[in-house]
Amino acid sequence: MATILVIEDETVLCEALCYNLERAGFTAVAVHDGIAGLEQARQLQPALIILDVMLPGLDGFSICRTLTRERIVPIILLTALHDEAHRIAGLELGAVDYVVKPFSMAELLARVRAILRWNERQRQAQPGGVLHAGDLRLDRVSRQVWLGEQEIELSFKEFDLLACLMDNSGVALSRDLLLERVWGSTFPGSNRTIDVHIRWLREKLETDPANPTMIHTVRGVGYRFQKPLERLAPRFIGTLP
């Protein structure tokens, strides 16, 4: 069964989390400070990390930033900070989901399952292969992206969003559909989540992010990825086959 690393310094909450994860059939490993948490994340290679933001030693945002750079694992951030700026900061650092304390254990477990199911579906549906679009290459197996010879560092969800767009090259995809395909149906995010991630992708991939040539805005719908040489008329779909 999947191993889940819980990095949380509130011992009562940490024990409750681990107890419920084990009851749900997962293997739970608990760590109470940031430095040991980062170390365990690297050694253990868990399927998912539940990460508190306020931690002794090293804070959750720093751990998230480091792990995302190393492309190891999906992260759910736990925090008492509930304003949008912090939520966006967490997602910007590569967290997959964001849960505000106090939270319902059942809801957290549902999100854990949804993320793991989604990852498994992605793994099974995509046994390998490299997507190409002009100078841009995306390798699903190694989760690496190159622009020409230069490797581009993407967060976990930036990578998934780009893969989804490139998979449907030439197709206008609605924000709702992108949210469901990339974040899963249980993610309580808004269209703003999509817009923010698109902005970050353009800043990393486009020569002039204000005049994108690959990731186009489709007014009133969402976004369309266009390969550099494609001149096909776009078509809109609401659901993917």
Residue closer to Ca ion (CB basis): 57 or 134: 57
First to last CA, the chain: 30
Q: Which of 69, 78, 155, 153 is nearest to 112 (CA)?
A: 78
Residue nearest to Ca ion (CB): 54
We find the least distance from the C-beta atom of residue 31 to Ca ion, in angstroms, to be: 12
Helix (H, G, I), strand (E, B) or coil at 78: strand
Which residues inside 9-38 make contact with Ca ion, applying CB under 5 A? Answer: 9
Return the residues of window 36-55 that contact Ca ion according to CB under 5 A: 52, 54
Q: How far apart are CB 56 and Ca ion at their closest, in Å? A: 8
Dig out the tokens for 91 from the structure. Answer: 């997602």
| Neighbouring residues of 183: CB distance < 8 A, sequence distance ≥ 6 | 96, 97, 157, 189, 193
Total residues contacting Ca ion by CB under 5 A comes to 3
CA–CA distance, 134 with 147 (Å, rounded to integer): 9
Q: Which is nearer to Ca ion, 9 or 195 (CB)?
A: 9
Binding span for Ca ion by CB under 5 A among 1-9, 129-137, 183-191, 209-217: 1-9
Site for Ca ion in 53-82 (CB under 5 A): 54
Residues 6+ apart with CB under 8 A from 231: none
Least Cβ distance, residue 50 to Ca ion (angstroms): 12
Cβ 229 vs Cβ 134: under 8 Å: yes
Q: Which is nearer to Ca ion, 98 or 118 (CB)?
A: 98
| CB-nearer residue toward Ca ion: 81 or 221 | 81
Beta-strand (E) ranges in 104-234?
130-133, 136-139, 144-147, 150-152, 171-174, 215-218, 222-225
Residue number with CB closer to Ca ion (52 or 97): 52
Report in angstroms how near the CB of residue 22 gets to Ca ion at its nearest: 21
What the block records as the tokens of 212 is 């994108």
User: Smallest distance, Å, CB 93 to Ca ion?
Assistant: 17
Rank residues 56 and 148 by Cβ distance to Ca ion and give the closer one: 56
Minimum CB distance to Ca ion, residue 170 (Å): 46
CA 191 to chain centroid:
15
* Residue 79 near residue 98 (C-beta atoms within 8 A): yes
Write out the residues near Ca ion by the rule CB under 5 A. Answer: 9, 52, 54
